[in-house]
Amino acid sequence: MLIRLIYTLILSLASPLLLYGLYKSKPGKPSFGKRWKEHFGITPQTQGQSPIWIHAVSVGESIAAIPIIKQLKQRDPNQAIIVTTTTSTGAEQIERLGDLVEHRYMPIDFSWCVQGFLKAVQPKQMLIMETELWPNTLHCVAKAGIPISVLNARLSERSCQRYAKFQSVFNLLAKNLSQVLCQYHSDAERFVRLGLDSTSVHVTGSIKFDIEVSSEQVEKGKALRERVGFDRDVWIAASTHQGEDEIILDAHKQLLKDNPKALLMIVPRHPERFSQVTELAKQQEFNTITRTSQQPITPDVEVYIADTMGEMLLLLGGVDVCFMGGSLVGDKVGGHNLLEPAALKLPLLNGPSYFNFSEITEKLLEARAVTICHNSSEIAGQLKELFLQPKLRKDKGLAAYQVVEQNRGALDNTLQHIIG
């Protein structure tokens, strides 16, 4: 009780800054509009009875939740589902599901906010995507007799050691959890090491391996490639972060010396960086266009900035090679998920920092489907080799795809634990 009281006091002091960051207007970021009240527990009542509540904090978690949502609705079309996100970009992903779910913004982690939400929604269970744990939320939900499951849970060794330094805080969180469904045995071992009852910790695999690429997405990818031209070599730098774009552009400059028809697509991770990356490419004298400009991708275009959200699979469907961002910035990010390009049979390049996706990346490394590059010269060298050898490109792409296929099944495993 004392620990939670101290935490609430700290949250009260920090909340103005947190809310400022959440509501601050940024280019490409959807507005919360009048729905800002939902963050304070003032939320519309649900239309269905006893919904399942799924919380997915932002874009990545929302995308991971979509297959679960679709399977839950397929198995019981009458089951109401409420999905909460904290961010408006996460909300944008969920709202594409249309009538399958209702969306709400997650209440701030004050007890009175959470209680207001629970009173309006009255969920029968709470499903949390990927270890998004808030002390007051967990306390209020558990106190209301609502079971809480953590899905697709990850716990890195670094996070485990941090929790261990504040064991009493972790105990405060853990006592409210009904079950934790982990991606890997290493994650489960760390949760048990921190004191969770082993009977409540299960290994279900990573839901991300159960990725489905729709025929519509495939066709849109083909249409994009037709706009680019099949006679060009095209690579994508996906989910790039501050400090990586300069490296990527330098690699492309080196590539163009030997392959003047090559095209680079850059997909910045955060919408507020769209214009910044566009200007950077233009400053370096690349012939650059943006996706939203809807300009034709003429043969002289060298850099194409994908300044849209939620179109990654479409964009990947229009390229030959994928470099995954978030992996060239040291310990700041720890990489991103390589499974989307792997599912599309793309050969993969990655930076040396991938601790947040170590298990996935290591499986791909074992299959020789991904190559680690430390700098722009290594990226350019790998691109030159892949573009000169179509068979090598095809073999690496097929190896990546086989890793995805061999590790499917987490979705069914997860549903077995949460339906009952």
Please choose, from the candidates 307, 132, 319, 313, the residue with its C-alpha nearest in 3D space to the C-alpha of residue 208. 313
Residues 333 and 383 placed together within one structural domain of the fold = yes
Q: Does residue 385 lie in a domain region?
A: yes
Each residue's pLDDT, cut to its tens digit, for the chain (420 residues) gives: 788 888 899 989 988 888 888 878 777 667 788 898 999 999 998 876 799 999 998 887 888 898 899 999 999 999 999 999 988 888 888 988 888 999 999 999 999 999 999 999 999 999 999 878 899 999 999 999 999 999 999 888 888 999 999 898 899 899 999 999 999 999 999 999 999 999 999 999 988 899 888 899 999 999 999 999 999 999 999 999 999 999 999 999 999 999 999 999 999 998 889 999 999 999 999 999 999 999 999 999 999 999 998 899 999 999 999 999 999 998 889 999 999 999 999 999 999 999 888 889 999 999 999 999 999 999 999 999 999 999 999 999 999 999 999 999 999 999 999 875
CA-to-CA distance for 216 and 197, rounded, in angstroms?
44
**Whole domain around residue 362: which residue ranges?**
215-406
Which pTM was predicted? 0.80
Q: What letter would DSSP give residue 107?
A: P
- Alpha-helical (H) ranges within 111-269 are 111-121, 135-143, 157-165, 167-174, 185-193, 215-228, 245-258
**Total tally of structural domains belonging to the chain:** 2
Residues 129 and 149 placed together within one structural domain of the fold = yes
Q: Does residue 69 lie in a domain region?
A: yes
Query: Has 385 been annotated as catalytic?
Result: no
Instruction: Give the per-residue pLDDT at 408.
Output: 93
Q: Does residue 25 lie in a domain region?
A: no
Q: Does residue 402 lie in a domain region?
A: yes
Residues 75 and 194 placed together within one structural domain of the fold = yes
Cβ neighbors of 193 (< 8 A, separation 6 or more) are 160, 164
Q: Does residue 12 lie in a domain region?
A: no
Which CATH number is 107's domain given? 3.40.50.11720
Instruction: Give the per-residue pLDDT at 321.
Output: 98
Catalytic residue among 38, 61, 102, 244: 61
Instruction: Give the per-residue pLDDT at 32.
Output: 84
Residues 340 and 278 placed together within one structural domain of the fold = yes
Instruction: Give the per-residue pLDDT at 28.
Output: 66
Q: At residue 270, what are phi and psi to the nearest 5 degrees?
A: -115, 135
